[in-house]
């Protein structure tokens, strides 16, 4: 079974893992072709139907995990300071809030704990479930107004990408969502 698992190998031993399309899909029924059971050869995308996911991810305790859906047990995997920042990000529309700062990421990558944590994520009505994990991650987030919904735009990136990502990623999400909404009105 083909899957997308990417690892950015770092000479300091602080890898970045990205896992997507990691569980088998035998075939799908769609309203265009009926049963679609062509073999996936890695040159395109799976035929994906919407589904609900409840996933438990166990990682070293110093890793930051980004995953589809919503984290169900933040008190088990985030520090009190990170929870406070996360809640602030859910109400902040004008600029990203750093949940894990660059300084915190630099300190964390020097450790190698033996303790593990398990994050529980739930994603409803989505086409796939993907996640990424690393002790190198800086994490920022901000609320994005989308009609009656307020999703949380989140970015995880290593210090090497901080100059660009910390200024642009979630601002771009906000601007893109705004353009989409105005185009539909």
**Does 2 have pLDDT greater than 50?**
no
Element (H, E) at 89: helix 80-89
Whether 171 contacts 153, CB under 8 Å: no
Computed from CA positions of residues 91, 92, 96, 100, in that sequence, does the dihedral angle turn out positive or negative? negative
Contacts of 70-74 with CB under 8 Å at 24 or more apart are 70/121, 70/122, 70/123, 71/119, 71/120, 71/121, 72/120, 72/121, 72/122, 73/118, 73/119, 73/120
pLDDT of residue 185: 45
pLDDT of residue 149: 84
Rounded average pLDDT over 157-162: 86
pLDDT of residue 156: 92
Comparison of pLDDT for 77 and 32, the residue scoring more: 77
**Does 174 have pLDDT greater than 70?**
no
**Does 82 have pLDDT greater than 90?**
yes
What share of the chain in percent tops pLDDT 90?
A: 35
Rounded average pLDDT over 59-63: 91
pTM: 0.79
pLDDT of residue 55: 93
pLDDT digits (tens, 9 = 90+) for 106-129: 888 666 677 888 999 999 998 888
Using pLDDT thresholds of 50, 70 and 90, give the confidence band for residue 104.
very high
Return the bridge partners of 140, or none.
Answer: 98, 155
For residue 115, the SS3 value is coil
pLDDT of residue 41: 61
Please state, in angstroms and rounded to a whole number, the distance separating the CA atoms of residues 99 and 120: 18
Angle at CA of residue 112, ends 64 and 155, nearest 5°: 15
């Amino acid at each position: 079974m083909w899957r997308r698992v990417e690892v950015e190998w770092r000479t300091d031993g602080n890898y970045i893992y990205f896992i997507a399309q990691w569980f088998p899909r035998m075939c799908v029924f769609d309203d265009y072709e009926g049963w679609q059971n062509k073999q996936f050869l890695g040159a395109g995308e799976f035929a994906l139907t919407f589904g609900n996911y409840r996933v438990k991810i166990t990682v070293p305790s110093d890793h930051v995990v980004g995953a589809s859906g919503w984290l169900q047990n933040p008190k088990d995997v985030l520090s009190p300071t990170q929870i406070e920042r996360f809640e602030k990000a859910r109400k902040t529309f004008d600029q990203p809030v750093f949940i894990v700062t660059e300084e915190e990421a630099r300190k964390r990558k020097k450790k190698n704990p033996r303790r593990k944590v398990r994050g529980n994520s739930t994603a409803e009505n989505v086409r796939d479930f993907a996640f990424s994990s690393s002790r190198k991650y800086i994490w920022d987030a901000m609320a994005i107004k989308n009609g009656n919904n307020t999703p949380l735009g989140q970015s995880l990136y290593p210090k090497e990408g901080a100059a660009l990502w910390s200024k642009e990623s979630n601002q771009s999400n906000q601007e893109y969502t705004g353009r989409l909404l105005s185009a539909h009105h």
